[in-house]
Each structure stands twice: as C-alpha cells, then as structure tokens.
Structure 1
C-alpha cells in the first residue's frame, strides 16, 4: 500500500535500505539538486558489510571556490583511484553472496566510467537500482529549493549516517547477510547488501520494512 504524498530525498550513493523502502512506498520521489553539499552524509558515501564489520565507501569530491557548493554542481575527484578501491572492497565483501554473479555486470560499469558530477553518477545508479529492484515510482529532480516543501514530505536530512533519527515507520526486516555466522544482523546498510544477498526477494524485504 502506497502513501498518497510525494517524498523529498537527498541524492545518495548506493543509498541504504531505508531510502529505497521509502521510494517504493510513495507515488513520487523528488531528489534535491539545489541544496548545498553536506559532508559525512550518504550523498557521497555508502556503508557495506565486510569480514570485519561495516565498511564506509566514500567518493572524494572537489570543493568549489566558495564556502558552499550546490549538489548539482559538485564534481567528483579522481586524484585517487577510488573506483578501483570501491570495487575491490565490494568484490571482497560480496563475491560469495548468493546473487553477486547475477548482478555484478549491472553494477561494475559504474566503476569504469568517470562521471564528472556526483549528482549525475548518483542518478544513473538510482535508475539502474530501480530497474534491478523493479520499482516503478516516478523520480524527478527538484526545480528549485524549498526549505519547507509544500507538496512533499521532507526526508533530506532524516536518512543520515551521522544523525540516526528513529523513524517508527521504518522497521528493517532481517535477511541473511554474508557474514551472518560472525555478526548479528546489521540493519540499513547500502542497498548493495540487500540485492547481493536477497536478489529478487529484495522488493519484498523493502516493502515489509516500511509500515
């Protein structure tokens, strides 16, 4: 069952499960492109699960000349080969997962092509993940900035690795993770953790995680 109102989210790099649970439940999703970039958020990072626990993967970005940079203008830095590092880390973490072979060819190209802008990369990832997850809701970029949106629920700062604000509607459903013999369940990791472990069942996990 969908909610009737649209939702406003920040852009995100391989966003966490909560992000896509919400995308599934709302009829329209707006992605903010006119906000200022905020450090230490999912805008340029994700968290996956490795053999020693959660691992953050961070995309380095190029700071603008001024003190603030709009997210739509934020460029990716390739001074360090982060693409190679990220893919090697993902491969090491999920190579033994049930659906890694099934999905890797959809994901790997993003670690070869060098997109100029962070938003451009994230939106292309978002489109691919929608296809893999079979989510059909409309996603559009905002046309201007509203500090208090009138037509959408504002979740731009709610889903954050720093400020983990509890949301009673998000009840993450457990699924078997690669290192479940070593750790208790880690909720709300990157969507990569879900699709590599659950494959076609990912849609059901997302659906049941938002009440």
Structure 2
C-alpha cells in the first residue's frame, strides 16, 4: 500500500481481491465518471458451480451512443436474469456450510428491480459490508480521476475477470480454503465474495485480512 486512498470501479458481488481493498484502505473512492467498460466485474461476478467457474452477468440497456458513463448505465430486464442468477447461486452453494444462514440476506437482489447499475451494486456492497461487520470510508468520485494520479492506489483496471487484462497486485495473496466443488475441480481463486461468505461465514473477515500483503 503506497497511499491511504484507493480507486476502484463499481462491482457486482465483487471478487475477494476487491473486498481486501475495502478492508485495507482508510479511504476508498469508487469511480462513477469513467466511460463504462463491458466484460468486467462492473456487471458480472464469478461463482463456483458444479462444472467449474460460472460467470453471472447483468444485462444492461444498450447505450444510444458508443460511450456512456458508468453512473448512467441502466439494467435491462428483457430477460429474466434474476431468476437464472438465483438458481445458479442455489445450485452452487446450497450444500455450503453457511448457505442457509446467509441466503435470505441476498434474496431481495433477485426479486426487486433496480434501474441503475451503480446504485444496485452499492446496495449489494452495503449488504456485504454489514454481514462482514465493517464500515469502511467509501465515496463516489466527484469527477473522473485520471490514470497515474499519485494520490491513489488505482485498481480500477487491475481487478479484472480476464487474467490477460488484469494487472499485478502484490498486496493480495490468497490462501486456499474449502470450496464446495474443490475436490472435483480444485481450488478456484478470487471468486465472488459470495463464495467466501457461503464457505467461511463469520471467518470471512479474518480471511480477507490474512490475504492482504503489507509492502
């Protein structure tokens, strides 16, 4: 950690690496003035299903122009993705140790409709933080923060679902934990925070803290 401030993109049921930043940094800024990027954690998460890693993606309303700000991205309900996501989560984690304990906390995100992706992700994040029993200092950016700004440790593009596009993060080191289908497919790294919570429950925060490397 070079700075006390970090920059993150918004994220849908963000990965474990992302939540380590929420634990690690005194000040967290979530970028809302960027041009929206597709095929990122902004509208997707990865869970661990019976056949391996299963991506869940939120469809968004197609922009009328080539570029749209993240803060203006709207969720599409042309398909019943909420039902599909809910069934996918159930199939993936119904046999996990803490599924029954936590699943009701997430049901509203798959029954109620949100119009704005940024607000939807924020509601999810607030719920997760409540379950982890932490209150980090998080705020949205007031304007676009240029890349290379020395005041921030910038993870907006480093935390990415595609290994070929993700950057090096020396402050994150993940140890193995027991996963539902680990015996079948092996340990899967940096999945959605859902995977951690359903498998480790109250020990999730301690796991996040242990995954942070102080440089």
Give the match for residue 178 of structure 1.
Answer: 180
Equivalent residue of 2:46, what SS? strand
Give the match for residue 117 of structure 1.
Answer: 116
Residue 28 (structure 1) shift:
1.3
Alpha-carbon contact 2:3-2:152 (below 8 Å) kept: no
Q: Please list the CA deviations of residues 187-210 of structure 1 after superposition, one character each: whole Å capped at 9, or x if unmatched.
A: 100000000000000001100111
Equivalent residue of 2:92, what SS? helix
Is the counterpart of residue 62 in structure 1 residue 61 in structure 2? yes
Q: Please list the CA deviations of residues 19-49 of structure 1 after superposition, one character each: whole Å capped at 9, or x if unmatched.
A: 0011101011111110111011000000000
Give the match for residue 151 of structure 2.
Answer: 151
Is the counterpart of residue 198 in structure 1 residue 200 in structure 2? yes
Alpha-carbon contact 1:3-1:26 (below 8 Å) kept: no
**TM-score, normalised with respect to structure 1:** 0.96
Alpha-carbon contact 1:130-1:136 (below 8 Å) kept: yes
Task: Give the gaps of 5 or more residues in structure 2.
Answer: none
Please say which of residues 115-124 and 128-137 is displaced more in the overlay. 128-137
Is the counterpart of residue 83 in structure 1 residue 85 in structure 2? no
Alpha-carbon contact 1:49-1:189 (below 8 Å) kept: yes
Equivalent residue of 2:7, what SS? strand
State the 4+ residue runs in structure 1 displaced beyond 6 angstroms.
Answer: none
Return the alpha-carbon distance in structure 1 between the equivalents of residues 110 and 174 of structure 2: 29
Return the alpha-carbon distance in structure 2 between the equivalents of residues 113 and 3 of structure 1: 40
Alpha-carbon contact 2:19-2:193 (below 8 Å) kept: yes
Residue 150 (structure 1) shift:
4.6
Is the counterpart of residue 208 in structure 1 residue 210 in structure 2? yes
Length, aligned pairs only: 210
Residue 3 (structure 1) shift:
7.2
Return the alpha-carbon distance in structure 1 between the equivalents of residues 159 and 191 of structure 2: 12
